[in-house]
Structure 1
Amino acid sequence: MINESRESVVQSATMASLRRGLLAGLALLFVNLLPLLLPCAQGAAAGTGKSKISAVFVFGDSIVDPGNNNNRLTEARADFPPYGEDFPGGVATGRFSNGKVPGDMFASRLGIKELLPPYIGSDLQLSDLLTGVVFASGGSGYDPLTSIPATAISSTGQLELFLDYKEKLKALVGEEEMERVISEGIYFTVMGANDLANNYFTIPLRRHQYDLPSYVEFLVSSAVNFTMKLNEMGAKRIGFIGIPPIGCCPSQREIGSRECEPMRNQAAQLFNSEITKEINRLNAEQSVPGSKFAYIDIYYNLLDLIQQPGLYGFKEVTEGCCGSTVLNAAIFIKNHPACPNVYDYIFWDSFHPTEKAYSIVVDKLIQQNMQYLILEPLDRHSSAWPHAIVEDKKGWSNALLDRWWQLLLQEKHA
């Protein structure tokens, strides 16, 4: 009897130990998986109103233009095949890719809506206006000179469109509701690539006025002014997406080489480094109370795909599915055939990534950065745990570990 009692005690202790080990293992697993689950949690929260994201607004260039240039007299258009061949319905909407572009993906991942429409030239419903639109224009940049050759909507022009949007929304729903939508919206700005690739390195005027570091300093100043004006117009949460590794775009690579063009990439890196400092400064100064600014790094996330294509299911890095020269993008490939195996390609045309590449990069950006813009501090004693929205990954990890530790203590004393 004594031996049986001892064996029972040992078995109970062993089972308790195994349960504790299992709980601890699950805790660590859950914490490690949390960044992957965060976008889903955000989408659900957005749907219930807990995250207080009213709408998504995007400013920028062809990376995010969903069709604002369609009726403009410009070479920077994409409202014709082969663009849009993988878009829902196979429609060429004006998006510079084979399918959706980052603005759509941000809106979708955040649980707002599946597609983010252009502000210009589309039959917008009230529901579209209430949940966000895009003001971006292919060919635009922070430098006012950049948009002129492309006859694009300049960054200043995009701010004017935003002002027009505010007035239109106010007339439809009243000032109080308009202000709520604006203040609870999340904003993204995506410019700078054209300033370098299609202006400084292509048109001689700016090179006569500035050496490269000075021009980057000018661009950074222009970008900060744009961000401050947007902030003063009511945008409180602004995600500032940096310049991608433009030297690795098929049309920008060194002629006859499979290597990325180093000078363009160095310029992009310098801009991203300097704008990060300015974003930190804006956060510290808080000229508009309640504002949040975040630098979002597209450079290294896209570069990772380019340097390790096989890891992400790509086979072709240096060529675009629609061609690789400066004449294999926008109006120049109207009705031209695309490659038959687009999913092997990182780049759709000679300058813009494929929907697959965009989707991978946007997922990375959300996992790494969104919490700094859209999450609120966690009340660690709140009954809403674990559905509460928190300030950062550390907040999540600490709260989860606290909760798992409580479970372990309960198990220990059970």
Structure 2
Amino acid sequence: MTCMYAPWLLLTQLILLQVANLEAKVPAIIVFGDSSVDSGNNNRISTLLKSNFKPYGRDFAGGQPTGRFSNGRIPPDFISNAFGLKPSVPAYLDPNFGISDFVTGVCFASAGTGYDNATSDVLNVIPLWKEVEYYKEYQSKLSDYVGQHKAREILTEALYLISLGTNDFLENYYTVPRRRSQFTVQQYQDFLLGLAENFLREIYSLGVRKISLTGLPPMGCLPLERATNFMNHHECVEEYNNVAVEFNGKLNNMAAKLNQELPDYKILFTAKVYEFFYQIISNPSSYGFDVAEVACCSSGTFEMSYLCNEHNPYTCTDASKYIFWDAFHPTDRTNQIIADHLIPDLLNLFN
């Protein structure tokens, strides 16, 4: 009997070993950033920038709003699923989750934040330095929960997703006069670049080694920017897009420098997000979309957060036909298409 079952036992052991090795490479997805990746942290703070009410989340599992600025999922959810982890990444401040849920992934992001602390002050959201403090707290909790050795392994081998910067320009620099009185836009780019480098060096010192760093999207093509671009017939605001391209180039160079300087640091700068997203907006029908200029929610021109009202009669019935869900944020389907475009590179480098 033993001889008959030995091959099956050996095969089972080999399979389990392969699975263990796979899990060891990326045991968790950990997220820093803004509303592009916030899975609900703003629900728990005193800010007007929330999305924990309908129609947000209407196409999420269970049809309930979670605090994600979308009708459904956001990119970290798709990436987590692609790495064989949970189908969604929970928010650190969500009281429905605890350290046992955060072992395979956690989100510290806050909608409305940026590299610049002054950006988080605009709508009273969590600044990036506070996201790092939450991460340190999480490190301690994880160590208590799984043991110091296992926690160090998880934190070192985890994939860190970082996405922010848009609010620094659209919510802060171009809206509030303070930074414009201090910097030209190129000087502000360099100021943000210094903050970004300090942040990346700090988390490296905390044990972070694997990073997917997302640059700016074609922010001049967001529905709000197009809606207010009266002089150019509601086309994309090229000034904003040009700033995004310039800043992304600088961010890419800085990431390359850190990869050279800091041992074992792997920063994948996902520069192609801009190009791919712009391609989708420019040729929506090629990706199965009907509408690129306006969003699904309400009039689709300027509404987001509380202005995105479930009782508005103009809200579309099928968000999958729209690139944007509200005036700033993509739909579930757009997020999936963009994430699917990035995932092969992430799996190739980090898996």
Common topology (TM > 0.5): yes
Q: Which residue of 1 aligns with 2:12?
A: none
TM-score, reference length from structure 2: 0.90
| Helix, strand or coil at the partner of 1:133 | strand
SS at match of 2:43: coil
Aligned to 1:355: 332
Match for 2:219: what amino acid? Answer: I
CA contact (8 A) 1:58 1:135 kept: yes
User: How many residues are aligned here?
Assistant: 328
Tell me, in whole angstroms, the C-alpha distance in 2 between the residues paired with 1:84 and 1:321: 13
1:194 and 1:291 mapped to 2: Cα distance? 27
Task: Write the distance in 2 (CA, Å) between the matches of 1:246 and 1:66.
Answer: 21
Work out which of the residue numbers 46, 53, 63 in structure 2 matches 1:73: 46
Work out which of the residue numbers 248, 260, 274 in structure 2 matches 1:284: 260
Q: What is residue 5 of structure 2 aligned with on the other side?
A: none
1:255 aligns with 2:258: no
Give the direction of change, closer, same or farther, for the CA distance of 1:114–1:369 in structure 2 (3 Å limit): closer
Rounded to whole Å, the distance in 2 between the matches of 1:357 and 1:174 is 39
Residue 116 of structure 1 aligns to a residue whose secondary structure is: coil
Q: Does the 8 A contact of 1:170 with 1:177 survive in 2? A: yes
**C-alpha separation in 2, matches of 1:69 and 1:46:** 38
- Paired residue type of 1:294: L
Q: Which residue of 1 aligns with 2:307?
A: 332
Separation in 1, partners of 2:77, 2:22: 21
Query: Which of 361, 366, 388 lines up with 2:343 in the alignment?
Result: 366
Match of 2:201 among 228, 239, 262: 228
Question: For residue 291 of structure 2, what is the amino acid of its counterpart?
Answer: E
Which whole-Å CA distance do the structure 2 matches of 1:86 and 1:46 have between them? 35
Contact 2:57 2:66 in 1 (8 A): yes
Work out which of the residue numbers 50, 61, 70 in structure 1 matches 2:22: 50
Inter-CA distance 162–202: structure 2 relative to 1 (3 Å threshold): same
Deviations 1:14-47, CA, capped at 9 Å, x for gaps: xxxxxxxxxxxxxxxxxxxxxxxxxxxxxx9995
In the alignment, is the contact (CA less than 8 A) between 2:70 and 2:332 conserved in 1?
yes
Unaligned runs of 5+ in 2: 1-15
Answering whether residue 181 of structure 2 is matched by residue 204 of structure 1, we say: no
2:10 — aligned with what?
Answer: none
Is residue 344 from structure 1 mapped to residue 321 from structure 2 by the alignment? yes
> What letter is aligned with 1:346?
I
The percent of aligned pairs where both chains have the same amino acid is: 36
Partner of 2:123: 150
Q: Which amino acid aligns with 1:315?
A: D
Structure of larger gyration radius: 1
Q: Could you tell me whether the CA contact under 8 Å between 2:122 and 2:171 is conserved in 1? A: no
In the TM superposition, 1:8-157 aligns within 5 A as: 47-50=19-22, 52-157=25-130
CA RMSD of aligned residues (A): 1.7
Distance in 2 (alpha carbons) for counterparts of 1:150 and 1:236: 31
Distance in structure 1 (CA, Å) of the matches to 2:70 and 2:191: 30
Q: Deviations over 1:241-267 (max 9, x none)?
A: 111111000001253323100111111
1:174-229, CA deviations, whole angstroms, 9 ceiling, x for partnerless residues?
21111111011010110001001111111111110000100011111111111111
Partner of 1:22: none
Partner of 1:20: none
* Separation (CA, whole Å) in 1 of partners of 2:347 and 2:115: 23
Match of 1:148, SS state, is: helix
Deviations 1:381-402 (A, max 9, x none): xxxxxxxxxxxxxxxxxxxxxx
CA drift of 1:370 comes to 4.2
CA positional deviation for 1:123 = 2.5
- Distance, in Å, in 2 between the alignment partners of 1:350 and 1:242 is 19
Question: Is 2:249 the counterpart of 1:273?
Answer: yes
| SS of alignment partner, residue 44 of structure 2 | coil
Q: What is the aligned counterpart of 1:316 among 263, 283, 291?
A: 291
Q: Distance in 2 between matches of 1:236 and 1:62?
A: 24
Out of 255-264 and 270-279, give the one that drifted further: 255-264
In structure 2, the CA distance between the partners of 1:331 and 1:47, relative to structure 1 (3 Å rule), is farther
Give the superposition deviation at 1:309: 0.6
What whole-Å deviation, never above 9, does each CA across 1:300-320 have from its counterpart, x for those lacking one? Answer: 111111011111100101001
Q: Secondary structure at the match of 2:160?
A: strand
**1:336–1:63: structure 2 CA closer, same or farther, 3 Å change rule?**
farther
Give the Cα separation in 2 of the matches to 1:77 and 1:317.
24
Cα displacement string for residues 132-186 of structure 1 (whole angstroms, at most 9, x for unaligned residues):
1000000000011000021111110100000010111112222111111101101
SS in 2 for 1:316: coil
Deviation at 1:122, TM superposition (A): 2.7
Preserved CA contact (<8 Å) 2:50 2:305: yes
